[in-house]
Amino acid sequence: MNNVVNLIGRLGEKPSCRTLNDGARVANLSVATDEGYKDRDGNWVKRTAWHRLTVWGDKRVEYIEKHYAKGDLIQFTGRLGYSQSESNGVKYHNAELIGSTSLLAPASRSETDQKAKTSQRQKLQEPRYDLDDEIPF
């Protein structure tokens, strides 16, 4: 049995990173995912779901703190965790995603970055050969 979650979405706000009293570092993130479908009338309906993520560890939190901003596309791998809380006599059951083995990976949305990446890929492509050239063996 496995408790594994793989999530790809966009950050809804800048990650909240802090150091706890015992020195442990933690980052809390809010990630949006979209799904869509066509209703009976053929109209496209988009539904957004929000997920709470918690990532532990000095290096992971430091990386998130330096490299993540609102709107960044991220991939998250972790596990699903549950907790309970109480406020004004009302009990709440909470579910959150807890980071485990992988770091989050940002993807830039700017057109200039995409153009630069495309240019780099074109430079790295194999040279084109004329098939009419004589084969050297």
pTM over 0.85: no
pLDDT in tens, 29-49: 999 999 998 999 999 999 999
Strands (E), the chain: 5-11, 16-19, 25-38, 44-56, 73-87, 90-99
pLDDT in tens, 56-109: 888 888 888 888 889 988 888 888 999 898 999 999 888 888 886 555 555 555
